[in-house]
Homo-oligomer: A and B are copies of this chain.
């Protein structure tokens, strides 16, 4: 995205230098935010959660999430393109599976985080 340059002078050069020197390459941070963006949709995160439990075909996903095949299929395409899921056809059905253990980790950690946050007694 195009945006204006900064309108600021650096105030604490030591801090900015320190942070800048350890900053990951731009493409890395880009991929990180892209990953989160893909997981950051209610439909897609429910799909990922479901597939984390069991591989599923499109129709069952649609029934489970109470959405149309088309809507689910569009979101699965995004997940496929991001290599977060892969699929195999069996007869008339196309089954989707999570393709990436890191995604499972990250997703499960986030669920933990939310549950703990809502459950201060833990």
- What is A's interface to B at a CB cutoff of 8 Å? 1, 3-12, 15-16, 18-20, 22-24, 28-42, 44-46, 49-50, 53-54, 56-57, 59-60, 62-69, 71, 93, 100, 102-103, 105-107, 109-118
Contacts of A42 in B (CB 8 A): 1, 29-30, 33
Q: Measured between alpha carbons, how far is A3 from B42 in the docked complex, in Å? A: 12
Nearest-neighbor residue (CB-CB) of A66 within chain B: B6
Are A63 and B106 neighbours in the complex by a CB distance under 8 Å? no
Nearest residue, chain B, Cβ from A114: B31
Closest B residue, CB atoms, query A4: B68
What residue of chain B has the Cβ atom nearest to residue A53's Cβ?
B19
Residues of B within 8 A of A30 (CB): 42
CB distance from A43 to the nearest CB of B (A): 8
Report whether A71 and B11 are in contact in the complex, using a CB–CB cutoff of 8 Å: no
- Inter-chain contact A63/B16, CB cutoff 8 Å: yes
Could you give 6 example pairs across A and B, Cβ below 8 Å? Answer: A3-B67, A8-B59, A10-B64, A15-B60, A28-B114, A109-B109
